[in-house]
Amino acid sequence: MKNFELGQIENMLEKQGYIGSGSIAMSIFLVMQLEKPLLIEGPAGVGKTEIAKVMAKALETNLIRLQCYEGLDSTHALYEWNYQHQLLFLKMQESRGEDVKKLEETIFSDRFLLKRPVLQAISQEKRPVLLIDEIDRADEEFESFLLEVLSDWQVTIPEVGTIKASQKPQIILTGNRTRELSEALRRRCLYLWIDYPDFEKELAIVKTKVPEIDANLGEHICRFMTELRQLKLEKTPGISETIDWARALATMHLTHLDKKVVEDTLGVVLKDWQDMRHTQDALSELLEKTGVTSRIG
């Protein structure tokens, strides 16, 4: 992965249909050169997770995902013993009169080890992309555990010993800033902030993801989303909602937005009833700013 040039990274993103920016391509280039994790923060739905998916596809390697949540512990991230299979194996072998001490050595082997995402990532022969998604949702204790892995690239299983990564996985961590991450974690990573796209970038994304959309409708949708994000909403819609909306309206062969269409399809974009009410109250003004004043009924 170190052999990639910056221009190749930009081409790689473009071929995978990811409309990025110079800072995104540069961040990917640097983390591959330095073999360091990349911490990506930004609002929900701006394409943070997509970067890891695109990298894995472009590099033709495995994407291993660890979805973080409150209460996540090292057991679910690292490994578990398959106790049911161990017990079944013991009973079968005991009935055949096998030596118990030898059986105990056998049941703590790779055969009965359930590898969770972190262990899977450091056990791969080809360097994978490990996506640690929404790290800010995990507890601080899990973050501390992760620091050990990121420092030594090895894990210790008491019954087996230490397993060291032969190929360091390319790690992408994402966060929505629901809590502040530790300085220790930040120091171990390169950092990238991704914000909501401007009109031109979002229009380019829509044209790429929904090529069948009418050009005029695509512009209306992106202008509407730009203005909608200026409202104080509980859950501001991201790029994925824009794409869903564009696909939905494209299937109806529409060529422009109007008030009724927006009212009838607002549930594709907004997922909170207070946001729906707030937006409906401001709909005439939003449509005027979007440039479809003449069609408001």
Mean of the per-residue pLDDT values for the chain?
88
Listed ranges 43-47, 120-124, 127-131; the one with the highest mean pLDDT:
127-131
Query: Is the separation of the CB atoms in 133 and 174 below 8 Å?
Result: yes
Q: What are the backbone angles phi and psi of residue 162, rounded to the nearest 5°?
A: -95, 130
Q: How far apart are CA 273 and CA 278, in angstroms?
A: 9
Q: Which residues contact 37 (CB under 8 A, 6 or more apart)?
A: 31, 150, 171, 172, 173, 188, 189, 190
β-partners of residue 155 are: 163
Where does the pLDDT of residue 3 fall: very low under 50, low under 70, confident under 90, or very high at 90 and above?
low
- This prediction's pTM: 0.84
**Phi/psi of residue 91, nearest 5 degrees:** -65, -40
Distance (Å, rounded) from C-alpha 233 to C-alpha 62?
Answer: 37
Does position 1 have pLDDT exceeding 70, yes or no?
no
- For 53-102, what is each residue's pLDDT tens digit? 998 988 889 999 999 999 998 888 888 888 888 888 878 877 777 776 67
Q: Are 209 and 243 in contact (CB under 8 A)?
A: yes
**Pairing assessment for the beta strands 170-175 and 38-41 based on DSSP bridges:** parallel
Q: Which tokens sit at 181?
A: 């991450």
Question: Rounded to whole angstroms, how far apart are CA atoms 143 and 18?
Answer: 29
Which residue type, as a one-letter code, is found at position 156?
T
The residue-averaged pLDDT of 21-29 equals 90
pLDDT tens-digit series, residues 160-203: 888 888 888 999 999 998 889 999 999 999 999 999 999 999 99
